[in-house]
């Protein structure tokens, strides 16, 4: 053991810089893997734990618009048999309300209630922060308003309901399972009793609703339960609108970001692990080459191959253990930054604290990985014969071609010599090419995310249809409203839309968009295969749903709405990241097989020039149609709010990926150049002796690293450009996006490519400056 320790210390002293570089890579790998595991094992389950702590039950049902007849006895009958417990409370239910959130507004359903909901037992509401000094005219907001920094305690929150504004002081923030996340589609607002009475007196007649939270008995299938309740509801009150949510979707909605971040971190971790393999193999190979005589001498004096291999294993083991420990510790520095972003969407209290399982997992994985790669790489030491090693190995020529002949080269002397050097070091070129290629791919993905989620948000990936504004009218005013909108010169491309929930096979609920004319859609890309419906017997369904139930284009599908059903021909597959990827599209004439449109309200989507024009149109609509106008949406107003978390994610990923990529490429260059300089020191000595200046040699060396980098930037940059969308398809398929058509800005791509080339060249020049310290005389006399 003493022998091994001596050898280990000797290895480390000889090549400190290289081993410190490898140590940093191991540290980075451990930090990223620990972060990924923390996201999966600690962050992600926090939402589940919170739901369990709040006694979430299995879901909720909401009855709104008209709740006549839905009394306690009716509810009891509806729930009978399937649930082990339920709890109902009255509230005011508003659909498609524009509310301040994040950096802007979001359009979401709003549920207004009073302090009675704090007494609930199933899916409890729990106050997390509260200013008890506020006693009147107040509101409790879901905790997500705090994590997204929308409001602080004591701020004024302006809630606009049915055209009336309520300025309420924020008294507290509460934790809620189903109504506390913007992705879930509904926010719950808890206001003081006097305010609630005031709002109820004004809107109660039309907006009163009932929310039922329930826990199912074992073995009851939730989708079947919901469909049964909805069907039975028709016999109680056919005008009641029923909507529902499940615990699964509530959790999924809150963990969307953490899953994307975890997958992205995983991708970067894989890059770092690949780089570690390349660098470990390279550095062990260099070690053997540079220490051939030493290995021969050691073997000659009685060291076994095992002793020498053990010393390398010990050294890399020590590096791996110390790097992993530090990396795991650093993950607890990185995670609060990530957690801050993730918590915005989770909307539940989360504080990062030490978690043994992910930390130990990351530590053990990195150490085992390094030891396995080292053990495989040091095998060649056994084959070294001591006599040959003492003669510094058998120098053989590989009869390579004399590339870039100086007498016929079209380049200048220094450039020609750089190319010669490059061709003489193919292993180094391959490593540089692969690492640069992986890095540029990651950068393209980060660029894509930044461009499509932050700079120019790709809204069609987040919503089925994009438009400038929406005006929704009740059935009495819808025809007149259409005429009015058509008469305006500032309004264009009006399409009428309603949303329905249709059911398939009594077990799957499909959110269905019904349009008067699908050819008017701005987002024609929503249908990624086949086509949108043209006739009344046609439907397009989401790809995720089709895959799950084995449907193909051309198949027939029977869809139910209440007691009605109709068989449609599937003409196309649509993609969606909403509603757990379960959506469908029909024409109005197709939906008429299931529903009579006479008494159905209409949502008019329209396009116009800009935000101000849209605001003017919607103001005019409000003024002209008054109470017949159900809701209005100015899309420009809600973009910022809807994208709060995604924008943060995109920026984080761009910064993180670009900085890790820059660090990795610089580290690789550092390790390669260092080992390259060491291997070529004799040549540098000769060149200096015959009159090459340090600047000549520095330039030659730096330049010799550039062709594989430039080639990789061009080849892998172009490949990444074409591969990024298919890659995003795979990444986002679990969210319902099947055919991503994200934009990749070419100037950004060129900038990244140029940046990698320029930074690499400057760094290579910086690293190669060590040549300046090499003295020809000292090198040559030491040989």
By rule CB under 8 A, what string of x and - marks binding of each residue 433-462 to other proteins? ------------------------------
What is the rounded distance in angstroms from the CA atom of residue 433 to the CA atom of residue 437?
6
156 touches other proteins (CB under 8 A):
no
Instruction: For residue 135, count other CB atoms closer than 10 A to its CB.
Output: 10
For other proteins, which residue of 384, 424, 500, 715 counts as binding (CB under 8 A)? 424
- Angle among Cα 51, 56, 59 to the nearest 5 degrees reads 120
CB of 693 to other proteins, least distance (A): 4
Minimal CA–CA distance to 381: which of 277, 314, 287?
287
CB of 408 to other proteins, least distance (A): 8
Number of residues that bind other proteins (CB under 8 A): 36
397 touches other proteins (CB under 8 A):
yes
Q: Which residue has the tokens 């990351």?
A: 362
217 touches other proteins (CB under 8 A):
no
SS (H, E, C) 568-610: EEEEEEECCCCHHHCEEEEEHHHHCCCCCHHHCCEEEEEECCC
For other proteins, which residue of 1, 302, 395, 747 counts as binding (CB under 8 A)? 395
776 touches other proteins (CB under 8 A):
yes
For the chain, the residue count is: 783
The answer to whether 448 and 744 are in contact (CB under 8 A) is: yes
What is the rounded distance in angstroms from the CA atom of residue 266 to the CA atom of residue 262?
6
For other proteins, which residue of 10, 694, 729, 733 counts as binding (CB under 8 A)? 694
Minimal CA–CA distance to 561: which of 201, 241, 101?
241
Instruction: For residue 356, count other CB atoms closer than 10 A to its CB.
Output: 7
For other proteins, which residue of 396, 489, 598, 782 counts as binding (CB under 8 A)? 396
For other proteins, which residue of 62, 124, 299, 420 counts as binding (CB under 8 A)? 420
Nearer to other proteins, 304 or 693 (CB): 693
96 touches other proteins (CB under 8 A):
no
781 touches other proteins (CB under 8 A):
yes
691 touches other proteins (CB under 8 A):
yes
What is the rounded distance in angstroms from the CA atom of residue 82 to the CA atom of residue 220?
6
411 touches other proteins (CB under 8 A):
no
CB of 691 to other proteins, least distance (A): 3
Nearer to other proteins, 417 or 471 (CB): 417
293 touches other proteins (CB under 8 A):
no
695 touches other proteins (CB under 8 A):
yes
How do beta strands 508-515 and 583-587 pair? parallel
DSSP state of 519: G
407 touches other proteins (CB under 8 A):
yes
What is the rounded distance in angstroms from the CA atom of residue 45 to the CA atom of residue 35?
14
Nearer to other proteins, 424 or 553 (CB): 424
For other proteins, which residue of 682, 714, 754, 758 counts as binding (CB under 8 A)? 682
For other proteins, which residue of 135, 627, 693, 734 counts as binding (CB under 8 A)? 693
Nearer to other proteins, 98 or 704 (CB): 704
For other proteins, which residue of 254, 299, 582, 688 counts as binding (CB under 8 A)? 688
3-state secondary structure of 406: coil
689 touches other proteins (CB under 8 A):
yes
687 touches other proteins (CB under 8 A):
yes
For other proteins, which residue of 194, 360, 406, 751 counts as binding (CB under 8 A)? 406
In a 10 Å sphere around its CB, with 0-12 CB exposed, 13-18 middle and 19+ buried, how is residue 581 labelled?
Answer: buried
Cβ-based neighbours of 72, under 8 Å, separated by 6 or more: 88
Angle between helices 681-689 and 694-732 (to 10 degrees): 140
Cβ-based neighbours of 379, under 8 Å, separated by 6 or more: 309
Q: How far is CA 92 from CA 98, 174, 197, 203, 298, in A?
A: 16, 18, 11, 8, 85
What is the rounded distance in angstroms from the CA atom of residue 641 to the CA atom of residue 336?
23
What is the rounded distance in angstroms from the CA atom of residue 379 to the CA atom of residue 394?
19
708 touches other proteins (CB under 8 A):
no
394 touches other proteins (CB under 8 A):
no
3-state secondary structure of 71: coil
For other proteins, which residue of 685, 736, 748, 753 counts as binding (CB under 8 A)? 685
Nearer to other proteins, 406 or 730 (CB): 406
CB of 15 to other proteins, least distance (A): 22
Interacting residues toward other proteins by CB under 8 A? 395-397, 402, 405-409, 412-413, 417, 420-421, 424, 682-683, 685-696, 772, 775-777, 780-781, 783
């Amino acid at each position: 053991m003493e022998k091994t320790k001596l050898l280990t210390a000797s290895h480390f002293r000889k090549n400190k810089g290289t081993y410190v570089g490898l140590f940093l890579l191991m540290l980075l790998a451990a930090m990223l893997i620990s972060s990924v595991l923390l996201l999966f094992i600690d962050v992600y389950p926090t939402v589940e734990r919170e739901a369990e702590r709040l006694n979430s039950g299995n879901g909720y049902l909401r009855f709104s618009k008209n709740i006549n007849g839905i009394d306690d006895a009716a509810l009891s009958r509806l729930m009978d048999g399937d649930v082990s417990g339920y709890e109902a409370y009255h509230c005011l239910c508003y659909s498609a309300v524009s509310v301040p959130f994040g950096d802007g507004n979001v359009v979401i359903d709003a549920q207004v209630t009073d302090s009675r909901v704090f007494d609930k037992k199933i899916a409890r509401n729990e106050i997390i922060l509260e200013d008890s000094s506020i006693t009147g005219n107040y509101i409790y907001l879901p905790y997500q308003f705090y994590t997204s920094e929308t409001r602080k305690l004591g701020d004024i929150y302006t809630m606009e309901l049915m055209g009336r504004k309520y300025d309420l002081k924020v008294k507290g923030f509460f934790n809620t399972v189903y109504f506390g996340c913007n992705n879930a589609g509904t926010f719950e607002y808890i206001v003081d009793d006097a305010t609630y009475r005031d709002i109820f007196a004004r809107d109660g007649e039309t907006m009163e609703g009932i929310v039922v939270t329930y826990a199912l008995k074992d073995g009851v299938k939730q989708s079947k339960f919901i469909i049964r309740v909805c069907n039975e509801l028709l016999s109680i009150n056919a005008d009641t609108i029923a909507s529902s949510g499940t615990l699964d979707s509530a959790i999924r909605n809150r963990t969307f970001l953490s899953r994307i971040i975890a997958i992205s971190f995983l991708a970067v971790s894989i890059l770092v692990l690949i780089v570690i393999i390349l660098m470990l193999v390279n550095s062990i190979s260099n070690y053997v080459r540079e220490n051939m005589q030493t290995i021969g001498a050691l073997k000659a004096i009685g060291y076994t191959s095992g002793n020498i291999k053990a010393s390398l294993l010990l050294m890399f083991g020590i590096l791996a253990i110390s790097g992993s420990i530090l990396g795991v510790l650093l993950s607890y520095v990185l995670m609060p930054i990530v957690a801050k972003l993730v918590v915005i969407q989770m909307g539940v209290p989360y504080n990062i604290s030490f978690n043994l399982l992910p930390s130990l997992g990351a530590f053990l994985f990195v150490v085992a990985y390094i030891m396995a790669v080292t053990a495989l790489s040091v095998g060649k030491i056994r084959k070294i014969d001591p006599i040959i090693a003492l003669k510094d190995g058998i120098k053989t020529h590989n009869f390579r071609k004399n590339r870039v002949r100086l007498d016929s080269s079209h380049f200048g002397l220094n450039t020609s010599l750089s190319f010669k050097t490059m061709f003489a070091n193919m292993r180094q070129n391959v490593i540089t090419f692969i690492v640069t290629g992986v890095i540029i791919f990651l950068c393209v993905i980060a660029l894509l995310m930044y461009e499509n989620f932050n700079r120019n948000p790709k809204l069609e990936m987040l919503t089925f249809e994009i438009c400038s504004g929406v005006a929704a009218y009740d059935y009495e005013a819808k025809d007149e409203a259409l005429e009015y909108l058509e008469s305006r010169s500032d309004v264009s491309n009006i399409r009428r839309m309603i949303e329905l929930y249709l059911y398939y096979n009594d077990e799957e609920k499909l959110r269905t968009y019904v349009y008067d004319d699908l050819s008017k859609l701005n987002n024609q890309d929503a249908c990624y295969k086949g086509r949108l419906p043209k006739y009344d017997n046609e439907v397009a369904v989401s790809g995720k749903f089709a895959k799950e139930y084995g449907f193909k284009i051309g198949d027939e599908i029977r869809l139910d709405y209440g007691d009605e059903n109709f068989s449609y021909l599937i003409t196309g597959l649509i993609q969606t990241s909403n509603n757990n990827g379960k959506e469908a599209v029909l024409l109005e004439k197709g939906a008429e097989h299931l529903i009579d449109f006479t008494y159905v309200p209409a949502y008019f989507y329209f396009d116009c020039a800009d935000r101000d024009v849209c605001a003017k149109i919607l103001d005019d609509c409000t003024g002209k149609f008054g109470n017949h106008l159900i809701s209005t949406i100015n899309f420009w107003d809600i973009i910022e709010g809807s994208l709060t978390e995604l924008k943060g994610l995109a920026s984080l990923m761009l910064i993180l990926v670009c900085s890790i990529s820059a660090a990795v490429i610089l580290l690789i260059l550092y390790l390669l150049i260092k080992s390259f300089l060491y291997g070529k020191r004799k040549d540098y000595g000769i060149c200096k002796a015959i009159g090459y200046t340090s600047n000549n040699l520095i330039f030659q060396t730096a330049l010799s690293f550039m062709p594989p980098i430039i080639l990789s930037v061009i080849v892998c940059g172009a490949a990444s450009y074409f591969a990024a969308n298919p890659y995003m398809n795979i990444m986002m398929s679990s969210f319902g996006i099947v055919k991503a058509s994200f934009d990749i800005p070419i100037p950004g791509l060129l900038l990244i490519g140029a940046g990698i080339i320029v930074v690499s060249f400057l760094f290579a020049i910086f690293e190669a400056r060590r040549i300046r310290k090499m003295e020809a005389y000292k090198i040559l006399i030491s040989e």
